Chains A and B, each alone.
Chain A
Amino acid sequence: MNPGTLRQILLITDGCSNHGEDPSAMAAFAREQGITVNVIGVMEQDVIDQKGMQEIESIAQTGGGVSQIVYSSQLSQTVQMVTRKAMTQTIQGVVNKELQQILGRSQTIDDLPPEKRGEVVEVVEELGETAGLEVLVLVDTSASMTHKLPTVKEALLDLSLSLNARMGENKFSVFVFPGKKSDVEKLLDWTPNLEALTKVFSKLSPGGMTPTGPALREALSYFKKKRSLRSLLSNDDEQFFEESV
């Protein structure tokens, strides 16, 4: 199998959106276009916001991704775990589709006898290691996130460390919401590693509303812009993961 490119949006937030369209709808919209939406909810040690948690879960569900609620102290390990898990999930989805084509039934990996499963897992792992990956990070910088931002920065640096140990190519970009003038603001354009983040992050001035839905919408359009440019240069294997989601 030829590994294509996996596309993900990684949303880091601490709770409720309060402006613009429904973020879950936007996540579902992203999924329709082969982009997975993962959500990490950063909580205070003992504040559990039921409504916020529900929103977080729902965005990931409709976005075909993974969600996880964490305390800020555990953020680093979680960010890389969620990203990897979502990659595996997407690849597994693709492999399941292929299996169904071969076996002609509604077979999934789990229906195979354990030994055969092992062979499939080998393929999934190999793809996860070699596939290209594009992660658009979307960080909530509304007022409530202020003192969590240093941890978010650390976690993102850690993520690029983890993923850059892979054999496949990585591209990251970082957006924050709300932006100074609009709902979203681009902080970092597509780049293979996030080191440049250290400088730009310290200049952030958090505050304002939480327009999660609009932020997702704009992030998506940024993905598309890049892709239409790419398709002009006609790169066929890029289509691999999109078709099968």
Chain B
Amino acid sequence: MMMNNSLRSQCKALPGTIIKGKWYKNEYKVIKELGFGANGIVYLAEFGGQEVALKVSDNSMSISSEMNILKSFTKVQGSALGPSLLSVDDWVNQGVTLPFYVMEYIKGETYLDFLRYKGTSWSVVLILQLLKNLSLLHQSGWIFGDLKPENLIISSPSCQIRCVDVGGTTIKGRSIKEFTEFFDRGYWGLGSRKAEPSYDLFAVAMIFLNSYYPNRFTKKTDGYSQLSQAIKGKKELKVYEQVLEKALLGKYSTAMEMRNELLAAANQNADRISRQQPSPSRNMRQTQSRSRRKQKKGGLLESLLLVVLISFIYLLYIYTKLL
């Protein structure tokens, strides 16, 4: 859902704008816009020679609520549950008071962009990472809620997945605060909107689907059989059919359970591929692997010739010895 237009113009800050906090007087220099959504605009800004991300909104409720969540994350030891919270303040822009908070800037690409550049073979790895993060989040009593590719950033250069936008993050047991239809099990008729691990795990399965259906799709009549068909429709997904189906039906009660089974399926799949084509660098992009296959054919011929030649010399050797 888009933010109201007038609100969007209120929170608008061009590159170079100085956002000064009303309470703590810190000055943040806007570098560029990183993105916007229903709850505000996020800017990349500079503060004390460091890059930070700054979220401005017209809604102090949602900003304060996100601040509370990020704050509670910092209490979880040595974790990267969300971007770390740096400061909270108000910006008075042309007489209008706009609440904002400052957080760690997570440099990288969002999930779908990353797959577009690097290839979809990354999807399983990223999903495994995501499940590990979620496990930690769930253990601390939170459910992410609005899990979707736009809220996942793959940080560079380590290629680690990070969740941003805690606007939908909900205390376990309450009702999900914010969601996006495609990733919401309620929309597909496959469960409640109660905040529990299986709610997030459904969304994880849908993110996996979204990797191979980048344009998404809308619900026809029977949500479940439609999603089942979608999985069967892509061979990259079909490999993980069992795991995905279980996640869609809410059969996993913890993220780790799903992760273990996904990992097992991924290993099986990797073994199968190795057996099919025993090339050490088979995971390269398609064009490259095609040219390599040609090379391989040439290589095979070469070694065959070599074997024939050696046997011939050997035969010759025995022959001379016998004489």
Contact = CB atoms under 8 A, between A and B. Distances in A.
Contact of B68 (A118, A158, A163): A118
Given A110-B97, A161-B186, A167-B175, 14 more contacts: A74-B1, A88-B61, A109-B60, A114-B64, A114-B67, A114-B88, A118-B88, A120-B64, A121-B64, A124-B61, A158-B187, A165-B174, A165-B176, A166-B174
B200 interface: no
Contacts of B194: 165
29 contacts: A74-B1, A76-B181, A76-B187, A88-B61, A109-B60, A109-B61, A110-B60, A113-B23, A114-B67, A114-B89, A115-B88, A118-B67, A118-B68, A121-B68, A129-B174, A129-B175, A158-B186, A158-B187, A161-B186, A161-B192, A162-B176, A162-B193, A164-B192, A165-B174, A165-B193, A165-B195, A166-B174, A167-B173, A167-B175
Contacts of A161: 186, 192-193
A81 interface: yes
Interface residues of B, number: 26
A82 to B, nearest CB: 11
Contact of A114 (B23, B61, B174, B192): B23
B149 interface: no
Interface in B67-111: 67-68, 71, 88-90, 97, 99, 101
Interface string B46-62: 00000000000000110
Nearest to B180: A77
B64 A118 contact: yes
Nearest to A158: B186
B123 to A, nearest CB: 27
A118 B70 CA distance: 11
A117 interface: yes
Contacts of B181: 76-77
A69 to B, nearest CB: 11
A18 to B, nearest CB: 29
A118 B68 CA distance: 6
B1 A77 contact: yes
A71 to B, nearest CB: 12
Contacts of B90: 114
Interface of B: 1, 23, 60-61, 64-65, 67-68, 71, 88-90, 97, 99, 101, 173-176, 181, 186-187, 192-195
A24 to B, nearest CB: 22
Nearest to B195: A165
Given A161-B193, A165-B192, A114 B99 contact: yes
A92 interface: yes
Interface string A164-208: 111100000000000000000000000000000000000000000
Interface of A: 74, 76-78, 81, 88, 92, 109-110, 113-115, 117-118, 120-122, 124-125, 129, 158, 161-167
A117 B99 CA distance: 11
A110 B176 CA distance: 25
A12 B117 CA distance: 45
Nearest to A84: B177
Contacts of A122: 68
A191 to B, nearest CB: 17
Nearest to B24: A114
A92 B61 contact: yes
B169 to A, nearest CB: 12
For the complex of A and B, 9 pairs with smallest distance between CB atoms:
A165-B175, A165-B193, A114-B88, A121-B64, A166-B175, A165-B194, A117-B64, A118-B68, A161-B186
A125 B253 CA distance: 26
Contacts of A115: 88
A196 B1 CA distance: 29
B172 to A, nearest CB: 12
